[in-house]
Amino acid sequence: MDIAIVLFDGVDELDAVAPFEVFENAAAEGADLTTTLCTLDGAPTVTASHGLELGSESRLADLSPDLLVVPGGRWNARGETGAWAEAEKGDVPAAIRRLHEAGVTVAGVCTGGMLLARAGLTDGRPATTHRGAVDDLRDSGANVVDARVVDDGDVITAGGVTSGLDLALHVVEREFGADVAGAVAERMEYERQGTVHRGESRTN
């Protein structure tokens, strides 16, 4: 399984790094997966929401992921960087839509779900996001669900900054089994939080 995590200036550090660490630990536990940090334009680094520089390994267009993870960050700040800025520019939502139309599963962490919404992926479908953006998600046409992780098959969303841990562990369990996910959670000394809502579109 090939996983791409797309980065952009203003991305929340934990939204991106938490899933990356879960997936890397899953690989260490025997899961057949690779995880790549990438940017849309091939920029080698981005400056995240708290000033940390994160490195990118590739350009998204050069990858063929099975799963695209979209972090959030700074949605409510409505600033020049972050998820809101990327939604307004439109390039990230367009890339999300293209990959989804090509059969790629897309997962939004925290307000990364708003980028999925801007791409039209959550219209009429169950989804969640950070509580500060729930009204925006509802106004976009999504069916907002009060759950930590919402799995609707080819679209997965999670609410809250730390929810990337739970989203990634859910993906690991869904794709590689409960034993692997449990081993990763134990390795990271993390107790999974909240509930997982499984939508009607979920076929796995």
pLDDT per residue as tens digits for the range 59-76? 999 999 999 999 999 999
Within a 10 A sphere around the Cβ of 10, how many other Cβ atoms?
23
- Return d(Cα 134, Cα 55) in angstroms, integer: 30
pLDDT, mean over the chain: 97
Annotated catalytic sites, by residue?
A: 110
Q: What pLDDT score does 83 carry?
A: 98
Average pLDDT for 48-54: 98
Q: What is the pLDDT of residues 81-100, one digit of tens each?
A: 999 999 999 999 999 999 99
Pairing mode, if any, of strands 45-47 and 53-55? Answer: antiparallel
Q: What is the pLDDT of residues 121-148, one digit of tens each?
A: 999 999 999 999 999 999 999 999 999 9
CA angle at residue 39 from 181 to 31, to 5 degrees?
A: 20
Q: What pLDDT score does 203 carry?
A: 54
Q: Topology of 2-198 in CATH?
A: Rossmann fold (3.40.50)
Average pLDDT for 171-189: 98
CA angle at residue 161 from 156 to 165, to 5 degrees?
A: 60
Q: What pLDDT score does 92 carry?
A: 98
Pairing mode, if any, of strands 196-198 and 34-39? Answer: unpaired
Helix ranges (H only) for 76-177 are: 83-89, 91-101, 112-118, 134-139, 163-176
203/143: higher pLDDT: 143
Contact by Cβ (8 Å): 147, 122: no
Q: What is the pLDDT of residues 12-40, one digit of tens each?
A: 999 999 999 999 999 999 999 999 999 99
Q: What pLDDT score does 202 carry?
A: 64
- Return d(Cα 128, Cα 143) in angstroms, integer: 8
- Return d(Cα 53, Cα 49) in angstroms, integer: 9
Q: What are the structural domain ranges in the chain?
A: 2-198
Q: What pLDDT score does 200 carry?
A: 83
Task: Give residue 114's identity as a one-letter amino acid code.
Answer: M
Of 53, 125, 59, residue with least CA distance to 95: 59
Q: Among residues of the chain, what percentage have pLDDT more than 90?
A: 98
* Residue 175 pLDDT greater than 90, yes or no: yes
